[in-house]
Each structure stands twice: as structure tokens, then as C-alpha cells.
Amino acid sequence: MRVLEVKDVTLRFGGVLALDHVSYSVNKGEIFSLIGPNGAGKTSMLNCISGLYHPTEGSISFNGEKINHLKPHKRASLGFARAFQNIELFPHLSVLDNLMLGRHVRMKTGLLASGFYWGKAQREEIEHRRKVENVIDFLEIEDIRNIPVGTLSYGLQKRVEMGRALALEPELLLLDEPMAGMNTEEKEDMARYIIDIHEEMKTTIILIEHDMGVVMDLSDHIAVLDFGKLIAYGTPAEIQTNPKVIEAYLGEEQVG
């Protein structure tokens, strides 16, 4: 079953063509990777999916419904969540508070009831806290739940960034280079969490990652972009032997 369908998506910034009639689909429950050399259009593609950019042409559909017109917060309400390449946390707030903020689109209590913190508002707060505690346990960050995020190591901040996305209970999780800047041990931990999210939470994941070993190990399908064009799509085995992919990566890290 297709959860996301990208059809003939084109994105222009003035005279710059960032994406050129890109089409592919993502199946429900899979790990789908977007790869390509620097400047290939990967993050632009993710921005179109999340609603930060709107395609100049083409369409994006989620569970069969076109979402081109929807703003990012509306897509979050549908079940989209994103962990950014550059950490977008509140450094002076605790890990717990940052994760609670990730629940914002799930909060339904009105402003008045929330202000007085009674009845339904109190029950809702307890339920949101329970969901966040589950994420904290899942990511094994119990010991740092009350520590300001800005004082944590880079690797832990990346884990909290992912945790805030998970707090939304997403159906579609967008991960933009979640292992960038990490050492080998931190990468192995992050890869394990991605596998666990996929297997235990049954979450569909779209991954941008430069570490080809990680991409080949984790992905069900891979789309390869080069100068905004889709040059290959297939399984890891198919991508590894695709001549166009090998040519695009000359001078970059070799695929395989």
C-alpha cells in the first residue's frame, strides 16, 4: 500500500531548478532512502514533503489525498514528523519539556481550560506526559530527562531531536541526515533506534543519509537524485549496480 506518492514534482527558485519532474512512491511501513551527491535536491524534496516548500509543478499525495495545499502544521496533524539535519531544539529547556512540545498538534484542550488546569486539561496533560515517557524509555534517555538540552553532547541532542519527532506518534517520519557529525558508536546507536522504530512502531521512514553503508543496510527502497533529477529507483542491490548511480558518485563516496 502506497502511503506517499510524489508525481512530477518540480521546484524552481527563480532561474534555479532544484527538482525536475521527480516521481516515486513510498510504501507503508518501509524505510525509504533519498540519496545523491551534495546539492542533488534531497533536502528540497524533504521540504516539499513536509510543506516548507510548495512544488512549482506536480503533486504530492498522502494516503491517496493530495496535500500540496496543506501547511506544515496541517501535515503534522495528518501524521508527519521531521527530525532536522541542523538541531532545532530549545537549548534552555529540559529534554522532557522539548519532547512535550512535540505533542503540541495532539493537544485539543481549549486555552481557558488549559490556563486553569482542571478537568479535561489535567487528564490530557497526564496522557501526553505518558506518551512522552514512553519515548524517553524507548530512546534510553531516562537519566537526562530533566537536563537542559543545550548542555548535552551532540549525539544525545540528535537523539532528543528524533524523540521530539516520535512524540507526535507519526505515521510518516522524515529523517534528514540523523547521523551527520556522529562518531561510529553514535551512528550504530542511531541505526539501531531507526530499526526499532521501523519494526516496533511500524512507522514509515524517509531517510536522507550520506553514509552509504547505513543506507544499504537499512533501506527497503532507495531513490537517487542528481542535479534535481531522479536517476535511479530500486532496492539496495539494484542501486549498488546501477551505472548512473556509480557515475553520479564519482569523486564522492562510492556506493557499495
DSSP states along 38-68: TTSSHHHHHHHHHTSS--SEEEEEETTEE-T
User: Which of 53, 47, 57, 51 has its CA nearest to residue 23?
Assistant: 57
CATH of domain 1-79+170-256: 3.40.50.300
| Biggest CA-to-CA distance, the chain | 63
Rounded to an integer, what distance in angstroms lies between the CA atom of residue 200 and that of residue 193?
10
What's the mean pLDDT in 13-23?
A: 94
Please answer whether residues 215 and 236 qualify as being in contact, where contact means their C-beta atoms are separated by less than 8 angstroms.
Answer: yes
User: Tell me: the pLDDT tens digits for 54-84?
Assistant: 999 999 999 999 999 999 989 998 999 998 7
One-letter amino acid identity for 159? R
* Residue 111 pLDDT exceeds 50: no
Q: What is the pLDDT of residue 87?
A: 78
What percent of the chain shows pLDDT beyond 90?
67
State whether the Cα torsion 115-121-125-131 is positive or negative. Answer: negative
pTM: 0.87
Rounded to an integer, what distance in angstroms lies between the CA atom of residue 27 and that of residue 38?
26
Rounded to an integer, what distance in angstroms lies between the CA atom of residue 240 and that of residue 256?
6
pLDDT greater at residue 1 or residue 152: 152
Q: Domain-by-domain residue ranges, the chain?
A: 1-79+170-256, 92-167
Mean pLDDT of the chain: 88
H/E/C letters for each residue in 205-239?
EEEECCCHHHHHHHCCEEEEEECCEEEEEECHHHH
Please answer whether residues 103 and 95 qualify as being in contact, where contact means their C-beta atoms are separated by less than 8 angstroms.
Answer: no
pLDDT tier, 112 (very low <50, low <70, confident <90, very high otherwise) = very low
